[in-house]
Amino acid sequence: MSTHFPTLLTEASQTYKPLLIPSRRGETIAQLHNRVATTLEGIIADIDAEVSALEAELPPDQRTSKSVLICAHAAPLIAMGRALTGHMPHDSSEEDFNVFTAGLSTFKRREASTPSAVQSADQHESSSEEPLAEGTTFIRASGSVPQWRNGRGVGGGWDCVANGDCSFLSGGAERGWSV
């Protein structure tokens, strides 16, 4: 991968400390979504800080858009799509984000939050369950689950512009998965 991503293994990546460590005892689907949202919020904040530092002394016309590639298994990818967009269906088994072998989903950061898309109160699951599984350890994350539902999304919210695209594969979409 270093051929295509030469900065992937930098000095900083060798001293990286995780944002949080998931529980070894498992978690519910709601807790998975909250853990993914918490992690993404931290990753996005790290990237925003790095980009700001790199572009601090550049004139505006030399600043460019940035991309991030995240590779993961199916369930966390579905949770990522939901955490980025802020759209959590009432039924978690709803097939809203397509995940296939080698599929590619693309998300574009929203320019600004629109008041109609964001409600004032975040709706967590209507149970007495903890937002994160017992035993989840915060290392660098904020220590609380972000309010990402109701169209809010983490890191300012994102729009899905390509959902599980497999058009570049000779056999098309294969081995789809849902929650």
Q: For residue range 147-163, what is the model confidence (pLDDT) as tens digits?
A: 999 999 999 999 999 99
Opening angle at CA 28, ends 22 and 34, nearest 5: 60
Q: Give the model's confidence band at 121: pLDDT under 50 very low, under 70 low, under 90 confident, else very high.
A: very low
Place of tokens 């849902």: 178
| pLDDT at residue 177, rounded to an integer | 74
pLDDT for 176 equals 76
- List pLDDT tens digits, range 37-57: 999 999 999 999 999 999 998
What are residue 109's DSSP bridge partners? Answer: 158
Cα distances (angstroms) measured from residue 72 to each of 62, 90, 119: 32, 24, 30
Residue 140's pLDDT band (boundaries 50, 70, 90)?
confident
What is the pTM assigned to this prediction? 0.82
What percentage of the chain reaches a pLDDT higher than 90?
60
Tell me whether residue 54 is exposed, middle or buried, using C-beta atoms within 10 angstroms of its C-beta: 0 to 12, 13 to 18, 19 or more.
Answer: exposed
- Report pLDDT digits (tens) over 68-82: 989 899 999 999 999
Question: SS3 for 5?
Answer: coil
pLDDT bucket at 11, cuts 50 / 70 / 90: low
Closest to 127 measured CA to CA, from 81, 92, 157: 92
CA 22 – CA 106 distance, rounded (Å): 26
pLDDT exceeds 70 at position 124: no
